[in-house]
Amino acid sequence: MEFYVYNTLTRKKEEFVPAKEGKVGMYTCGPTVYNYAHIGNLRTYIFEDVLKKSLEYAGYKVKHVMNITDVGHLQSDADEGEDKMTLGAKRENKSPWEIARFYEDGFFEDCKKLNIKRPTVTCRATEHIDDMINLIKTLEEKGYTYISNGNVYYQIDKFKDYTKLANLSIDELEAGSRVEVDTNKKNPLDFVLWFTNSKFTNQIMQWDSPWGTGFPGWHLECSAMSIKYLGEAVDIHCGGVDHIPVHHTNEIAQSEGALGHKWVNYWMHGEFLVLDNGKMSKSSGDFLTLSRVIEEGFDPLEYRYFCLQSRYRKQLLFSFQSLKEASNGLKKLKEKIFFIRKAAEENERLDKDKIQDYKNKFANNICDDLNMPNAFTTLHEILKDEELTNKEKIILVEDFDEVLSLDLLNYKEEKNIDVDEEYINDLIAKRAEARKNKEWAKADQLRNELLEMDIELIDTKEGTTWKIK
Ligand code: AMP
Ligand code: ZN
């Protein structure tokens, strides 16, 4: 199965060919754990989860590495402001270590609720300081660094391909990043590899290094840890689009500077989730969390479904109204599947070829740069297809759900925990008896009693069936 992805580096949809046949090394930038993730961040993690599961569906064995940023990310993605961990610690009157573990746990709880699978390797920046120091040493030996006012800087004009990912000129990159004039830097786009006390006197998380006590610059961890866990060639590297001009551009400068060759073959970026009043900002504290979505009465998987209704490369406008529409859509879908499952019989036909044809169709959709809207069209087509048996349909739903991860077969358990089928059938029989005796009021009363239990009756020529409302 050919797998196509849009590569930010070449600005084209390309056939994906991994460095090692059948295997994919994938690196995704993880959360900065100084606060809860917002639902925009989570959109990006959902996109990466679907990408990984789609590759697995296509038969690849994926090694997925994700970092946890627990030191070094300043308020701006360039080198301005304070370390976000220090800010979080001040805000909550805790140590940065406590803040980091608390929000890391919170992040993985959110992921679990969204059926986002854990990466193969999760690595914390604070546990890889030596790897980062070694990477700076290599860059220093190769002439990419300079020291100014105690800090170690990366000199971007020593790396000839600095602008290749963002496809912007140095002037455009400078204008875009709106960096303040920093007299320590030779070029405003140079970035810090190692901060020392000369810049921050109140930094709690600090380590010894050949350049003095201090802490690493944010971009360094992703280069150091991806090389450590995925080797010198990474197949796919992902993140949100905001990372293209600064973070990922700097990661390339570091990794390719140190390795002396191309590092990542496919760069994939998820577009932003936006609100009608603009961007969601974690640092301003004004953002929507998954807990808030749950408090508003939604199931986290309804948010996942909402995200999957559009392409990852398009901005997605969030409102509770559109989430409500997605929620209704998912409920209806699960309900349909529930009734198909209920109607399925043990001895129904299982035609392997028919099943495989639909699997191929679904695979073609997801392998087309994750065309999820088309994947849902295929799913609906299956549910409607009169040529398929119920059993075949359910097998296909279960199979597709390995990628969609929406618990599509869970409808009954979720909605109907207290439903006593015997009791319902008993009331239906009593109602049938009342109707036979033309006791219409009694029949209506029984119907209403069931309605109050969220059970809707469907009268057909063959008799009465029921469904959960
Ligand atoms: P952070 O925790 O700030 O490092 O961000 C985690 C991930 O979320 C990164 O891949 C960002 O690019 C991504 N991200 C940040 N804001 C948004 C947003 N509004 N929509 C989608 N992804 C986002
Ligand atoms: Zn990164």
Q: Is 242 in the pocket of ligand 1 (CB under 6 A)?
A: yes
- Burial of 267 (C-beta count, 10 Å sphere; 0-12/13-18/19+): buried
Whether ligand 1 lies within 6 angstroms of the CB of 280 is answered as yes
pTM: 0.87
What confidence score (pLDDT) does residue 7 get? 98
Rounded Cα distance between 340 and 118, Å, is 32
Is residue 461 pLDDT above 90, yes or no?
no
CB-ligand 1 contact for 28 (6 Å cutoff) = no
Distances (CA, A) of 304 to 161, 252, 381, 412: 37, 31, 21, 20
At residue 204 the predicted structure's pLDDT band, cuts being 50, 70 and 90, is: confident
Across 436-457, average pLDDT = 87
What pLDDT digit, counting tens, does each position of 284-343 carry?
Answer: 667 899 999 999 999 999 999 999 999 999 999 999 999 999 999 999 999 999 999 999
User: Which ligand does the CA of 251 lie closest to?
Assistant: 2
Question: Residue 282: CB within 6 Å of ligand 1?
Answer: yes
> Which residue owns the Cα nearest ligand 1 atom 2?
31
Band the pLDDT of 178: cuts 50, 70, 90: low
Q: Is the pLDDT of residue 415 over 60?
A: no
Q: Does 413 score more than 80 pLDDT?
A: no
Please state, in angstroms and as integers, the Cα–Cα distance from residue 23 to each residue in 54, 121, 229, 463, following that order. 13, 15, 14, 54
Ion ligand 2 neighbours (CB, 5 A) are 29, 222
Burial class (CB in 10 A: 0-12, 13-18, 19+), 415: middle
Kindly indicate the confidence band of residue 245, based on its pLDDT and cuts at 50, 70 and 90: very high
76 lines ligand 1 (CB under 6 A): no
pLDDT of residue 388: 97
Whether ligand 1 lies within 6 angstroms of the CB of 31 is answered as yes
Whose CA is closest to atom 15 on ligand 1? 41
Q: Which ligand has an atom closest to residue 243 CA?
A: 1
